[in-house]
A and B are shown apart, each in its own frame.
Chain A
Amino acid sequence: EPEVTQTPSHQVTQMGQEVILRCVPISNHLYFYWYRQILGQKVEFLVSFYNNEISEKSEIFDDQFSVERPDGSNFTLKIRSTKLEDSAMYFCASSENYPGANVLTFGAGSRLTVL
Chain B
Amino acid sequence: KQEVTQIPAALSVPEGENLVLNCSFTDSAIYNLQWFRQDPGKGLTSLLLIQSSQREQTSGRLNASLDKSSGRSTLYIAASQPGDSATYLCAVTQGGSEKLVFGKGTKLTVNP
Chain A residues within CB distance 8 Å of chain B: 4, 31, 33, 35, 41-45, 48, 55-56, 58, 91, 93, 98-100, 102-109
How many residue pairs link A and B with beta carbons under 8 A? The number is 59
Residues on B facing A (Cβ under 8 Å): 4, 31-32, 34, 36, 41-46, 49, 51, 89, 91, 93, 95, 97-105
- In the bound assembly, the distance between CA atoms of A100 and B49 in angstroms comes to 9
Complex CA gap A99/B97 in Å reads 9
| Interface of B, helix, strand, loop or mixed by DSSP | strand
Interface pair A106/B44, CB less than 8 Å apart:
yes
Evaluate whether A43 and B43 lie within 8 angstroms (CB atoms) in the complex, with A56-B97, A99-B93, A103-B49 already known: no
Which residue of A is nearest B94, CB measured?
A: A100
Pick from A31, A56, A91, A102: contact of B43, CB below 8 A: A91
